[in-house]
Amino acid sequence: MSKWVQKAFFYHIYPLGFCDAPRYNDFIAEPRPRLETVIDWIGHIEELGANAVYFGPLFESGSHGYDTADYFKVDRRLGDCSTLAGVVGELHCRGIRVVADGVFNHVGRDFWAFRDVLNKGKASKYCRWFSNLDLNRKSSYNDPFSYEGWNGCYNLVKLNVSNPEVEEHIFKAVEMWIDKYDLDGIRLDCADCIDLSFLRRLARFCKSIRPDFWLLGEVVRGDYNRWVNEQTLDSATNYECYKGLYSSHNDKNYFEIAYSLNRQFGKEEGIYRDLLLYSFADNHDVNRIAGTLKKPAYLYPLHVLLFTMPGIPSIYYGSEWGIEGKKSCGSDENLRPALNREYCSKNSPNRDLAAAISHLAKIRKASKALLSGDYRTVLVKHEQYAFARQYDNECIIVIVNSADRKVPVEINIPVGRGKAIDLLNPGEDFEIKNGKCSIPCLYPCWGRILQVKQF
């Protein structure tokens, strides 16, 4: 595991939407350096507390970015190679790491090798670059051959990554991304659909160039240990807890997220206790969290959990102000808009959330227990939930309350006598007697992050 990731907090940007790029690429227009929009946001990213940026697709594609046309060219709707190098350089100068999408499971129909097959048919030397390409059948596009599409989407042509030529092409692209753009890592799109042996070879290749290079896999379901281990990837998207974070609030059922966190990270039984998974409340593929929650006030205890549970927290651009965005008629466009930063910060109904996230990020950054500590459940009720994070002699107790009223609570703390200092609500602390701490008030839809001091 790359050491820098232990302290990472990601700001996730979908570049084509964020930069207000045209929906479709005509492949003839001159490059427009729209990606430089990011530079104007660096101060905001720093103020939020993020020290890493994850970019969605950056390379030449036909439409949404996941239909790659050329791995070696920056999408002309975002700029050119100097644009990307300049933006990454600016982020690095401010101490912000940069990770970008690697879309290696499939390409678009405009991918240069697929175009060659369309033009030459069986005479193309690239026929074996694509999975299950059959020259005896027609495709849904009425091509004189059929092929495998990703998840039934035939505008996304599945690559045959077991073909050494395909692997060499992808590896050369990755090497160029590292050498020319100085990327710190790759988020592997559809990692759970890619052959594991290919991912292992990719990991060895990347680490041979940069030992601290970080590989994140998009894994929607399954045992994360299959993908995250010493031979394969460094991390995976924690979709189990993504679901638990919102449904535990909507259903007034903290037992769900408590069960998931204990199953994953419990000190004794946790099946992922040695993994550092990627935590998120929303992203470019799912409805924004403010539109998913039944009550806007739930945003606050949810983000307390996001920044204190085991894992690497991530915020999807704009969601720090609690903006809404939902899929519409199967389209993701509403999830990926261009934003006016000043307008959002002043006019979004949940604009105070950004300051809360900044505060939470500072608390997390200063605590080894929150960054790397063990996890242990302390208390679970329908609308109240507490857990402990322990690292060496540092103990942090996190408590959240999703009720719309003040609630008293008493929790057990493995300290005979001491004090619990609230890092989230400065100036408030509570006495610990005989291993118990009585807290007269949990604020509505908020939390406490208690640093335990033993006497």
Q: What is the pLDDT along the chain (455 residues), one digit of tens a residue?
A: 678 999 999 999 999 999 999 999 999 999 999 999 999 999 999 999 999 999 999 999 999 999 999 999 999 999 999 999 999 999 999 999 999 999 999 999 999 999 999 999 999 999 999 999 999 999 999 999 999 999 889 999 999 999 999 999 999 999 999 999 999 999 999 999 999 999 999 999 999 999 999 999 999 999 999 999 999 999 999 999 999 999 999 999 999 999 999 999 998 889 999 999 999 999 999 999 999 999 999 999 999 999 999 999 999 999 999 999 999 988 999 999 999 999 999 999 999 999 999 999 999 999 999 999 999 999 999 999 999 999 999 999 999 999 999 999 999 998 879 999 999 999 999 999 999 999 999 999 999 999 999 88
Cα–Cα distance between 302 and 239 in angstroms, integer?
15
Q: Do the Cβ atoms of 64 and 39 come closer than 8 Å?
A: no
Q: How far is CA 4 from CA 134, 146, 183, 214, 309, in A?
A: 46, 45, 13, 9, 18
Determine the pLDDT at residue 330.
Answer: 81
CATH topology of domain 3-368: TIM Barrel (3.20.20)
Structure tokens at 453: 């001091």
Cα–Cα distance between 381 and 376 in angstroms, integer?
15
**Residues contacting 216, CB < 8 A, separation 6+:** 54, 99, 185, 186, 187, 188, 233, 234, 235, 236, 237, 278
Beta bridge partners of 412: 436
Cα–Cα distance between 128 and 147 in angstroms, integer?
11
Cα–Cα distance between 81 and 182 in angstroms, integer?
12
Q: How many distinct helices (H) and strands (E) make up the chain? A: 13, 21
| Domain range annotation of the chain | 3-368, 373-454
Determine the pLDDT at residue 1.
Answer: 62
Q: Do the Cβ atoms of 2 and 213 come closer than 8 Å?
A: yes
What's the length of the chain?
455
Confirm whether pTM is higher than 0.75.
Answer: yes
CATH topology of domain 373-454: Immunoglobulin-like (2.60.40)
Q: How far is CA 227 from CA 9, 115, 163, 253, 405, in A?
A: 22, 32, 21, 30, 42
Task: Calculate ∠ Cα 18-247-237, nearest 5°.
Answer: 50
Structure tokens at 16: 């084509």
Counting Cα atoms < 13 Å in the Cβ hemisphere of 13 gives 26
